[in-house]
Amino acid sequence: MKTSDWLILKRKVRFGDCDSAGVIHFHNLLRWAHECWEESIERYGIPYQDVFPTLSSKNKIIFPIVNCEANFFSSIKIGDFLKVRILPQKINNHLFQVDTHFFKNEIKVAEGKIIHCSLNVDSKNKVQIPDSLERWIEASNINRDLKEC
């Protein structure tokens, strides 16, 4: 599998993503960043239930967001096609960050940053990032200079 298979995704700006002027509503950028993170780990081969626990799952680790931010460099409008580049990085044993860069016609138009903390679902104590996510982060960083955007 090529790195680009799970690190470069695509989005089309839809009517429901925009305000009355046809420009993306600001909160959608972070929603897309999170959706792209979910899609990336799924494409990489990490089962959804390993990251997002349900009542019936064996997973006892949750990843609440402890910080997020977005920056816009150009307007994003209805009908735009975006390439989305995911850049995860480990901060320490229980924190990781997912940077998301949005490109329109090869020009970066926005970026998002989401930091997750790895916690035990019952105790809410910090725990080590699971091995599957560690491997995804490491594999994602092997070729940081991916030129497909």
Q: What is the arrangement of strands in the sheet containing 81-90, beginning at the earlier edge strand? A: 8-12, 81-90, 95-104, 107-117, 65-72
Amino acid 52: pLDDT: 83
Tell me, yes or no, if 19 is annotated catalytic. Answer: yes
List, in order, residues 6 or more apart from 114 with CB less than 8 Å away: 30, 33, 34, 37, 65, 67, 68, 97, 98, 100
Work out the percent of the chain whose per-residue pLDDT is above 70.
91
| Cα 104 → chain centroid | 18
Instruction: Please report the sign of the dihedral spanned by the C-alpha atoms of residue 1, residue 34, residue 26, residue 115.
Output: negative
Average model confidence (pLDDT) across the chain: 90
List, in order, residues 6 or more apart from 47 with CB less than 8 Å away: none
Q: Is it the case that residue 129 has pLDDT exceeding 60?
A: yes
17, 19, 80, 145: which is the annotated catalytic residue? 19
Q: Is it the case that residue 49 has pLDDT exceeding 50?
A: yes
CB 85 within 8 A of CB 7: yes
Residue with tokens 């329109």, as numbered in its chain: 104
